[in-house]
Structure 1
Amino acid sequence: MAPAGLACFDFDWSLIETDSDRFVIEYLSPALRKKLDERAMQWTDLQNECLKEFHEQGGSSQLVRESLTKVPMDSDMIKTCHLLYERGWDLAIVSDANSVYIESILEHYGIRHLFSAIVTNPAFWDAEGRLHIHRLTPADVPHGCPLGVCSLNICKGQEVDKLVQQRLGPNSANGSTLKMLYVGDGQNDYCPALRMKNPEDLYFVRKGRSLEKYLEKNSAAKDALPSRIVYWSSASDILKTIQ
């Protein structure tokens, strides 16, 4: 049975109320947090390097896990996820965070079961308790996004294409479309929004973040969106719109 629609969420500053990468590193070590802004390195690689240093300095996996229970999430965003799920929507996360952070935070808030897909950078714990994070798209296999707004390690538009294809199945060849909504805040959340084909689709753009600024500066990019744009400041704005 086809879902009522596909609801895609970015994670940092979208589903949750912070940047999980920065939040965790700052919780673990203010000195390492400072290095995030000083080192010239691809972001995912930098996260992995900071966690490596934390482990080498005697940092425990328990502290990393503890930090993930402190990440803030708006109760109205949790209500939004439950409401969409109850209405038969398929929920997915498309994020530049990592699988361990996302899985752990969703489990903490009791909503992991609401999401059918999590597309993000893979992460794992090794036998010594060190957390490793790798790029979703390896450095030697460029994803080839032509827009120039996606991160090197993930083209969110291409990943949403895969999610839509999986849900439409063979009917997609006949021009079928899927009702969609997308919640995002960053410039790399523009590419996936182009996958929404209907004027009744909802594109939730967080106010004051880089995505809103990108659309303000690029009228052609904004005009290319067939979906309805809903600017939001808090999760209550999304919940009210969906209700």
Structure 2
Amino acid sequence: MAGLACFDFDWSLIDTDSDRFVIQSLSPELRRKLDTSPMQWTDLQNECLKDFYDQGGSGQVVRDALTKVPLDPDMIKACQLLHAKGWTLVIVSDANSIYIDGILQHYGIKQLFSAVITNPAFWDSQDRLHIQRLIPADAPPHGCPLGICSLNICKGQEIDKLQKQLRQQNSANKADGSTAENFAPSQRMLYVGDGRNDYCPALRMQSSQDIYFVRKGRSLEAYLEKSAPNIRDAIKARIILWTRAADILKVVQEIA
């Protein structure tokens, strides 16, 4: 039975942090700035890119860096298999739309994903890249009660919105007699993540048939192992710790 497959991006779909990878490619000095500045993370990315362009950098250097981001072939196979079996694939990430689009395009898998939920980014007329927060600083806060989501995105709430959209699309397809693949709220869900902000969306999985892929050695695993029992007990999905994409591919081959 197909379902909804959600992927975080950094250290989940890809094998690095795209923000740090790109900035390191542009300038070691700017990479050090990422580790020392108290600025909000998304704003800091935009500031580093501004510094890069002010120093004479070009947009082509940024685009070239995206082609060097590592993506495990087994992760690509897992995504292709899920898509072929009728799963709806989405990315929910605190990266940005330009980085994600460029990397997916480079590996030829952009068409596998029905939606990419992330921070918006755009190239201006001078070929400078701008990155913005998904939830702007002057907008009402998302109000997630967990207190661990980033200021600019609550992935759990974004999953809620996405599922609502899919249900509406499903209803519209039924109304007009469309034979397009329909999404049912009861379908299975899997989520691939590595960070603490990947905990909130996992609470949307309410069945032991759902699968929560948690990357070993990252902050999400440490959060789940905290002494407070309600943290891990709140997860109803089957938790699978993974190290390499081959671990995910093996499970996907069994369930898809």
Which range, TM-score by smaller chain? over 0.9
Conserved 8 A contact 2:43-2:133 = yes
Cα deviation for residue 170 of structure 1 reads 8.5
The match for 2:179 is none
Secondary structure, counterpart of 1:132 in structure 2: strand
Cα deviation for residue 197 of structure 1 reads 1.5
Letter in 1 for 2:128: R
Conserved 8 A contact 2:14-2:71 = yes
Q: CA RMSD in A?
A: 1.5
Secondary structure, counterpart of 1:165 in structure 2: helix
The verdict on how the C-alpha distance between 1:32 and 1:166 changes in structure 2, with shifts beyond 3 A counting, is same
Cα deviation for residue 176 of structure 1 reads 4.5
Distance 2:203 2:234 in 1: 8
The match for 2:168 is 169
Deviations 1:16-54 (A, max 9, x none): 000000000000000000000111100000000000000
Regions of 4+ moved over 2 Å: 168-172, 175-178
Distance 2:166 2:71 in 1: 28
User: Sequence identity, in percent?
Assistant: 69
Deviations 1:66-106 (A, max 9, x none): 00000000000000000000000000000000000000000
Distance 1:111 1:190 in 2: 26
Matches within 5 A, 1:107-146: 107-141=105-139, 142-146=141-145
Which of 193, 215, 234 aligns to 1:224? It is 234
Matches within 5 A, 1:28-177: 28-141=26-139, 142-169=141-168, 176-177=185-186
Cα deviation for residue 171 of structure 1 reads 8.2
The match for 1:213 is 222
TM-score normalised by structure 2 residue count: 0.91
TM-score normalised by structure 1 residue count: 0.95
Distance 1:74 1:135 in 2: 28
Secondary structure, counterpart of 2:225 in structure 1: helix
The match for 2:176 is none
Distance 1:140 1:223 in 2: 35
Conserved 8 A contact 2:163-2:185 = no
Structure 1: runs of 5+ lacking an equivalent = none
Distance 1:207 1:25 in 2: 25
Distance 2:211 2:188 in 1: 9
Matches within 5 A, 1:6-21: 6-21=4-19
Cα deviation for residue 219 of structure 1 reads 2.5
Distance 2:191 2:219 in 1: 16
Report how many aligned residue pairs link the two structures.
239
Secondary structure, counterpart of 2:115 in structure 1: strand
Cα deviation for residue 134 of structure 1 reads 0.2
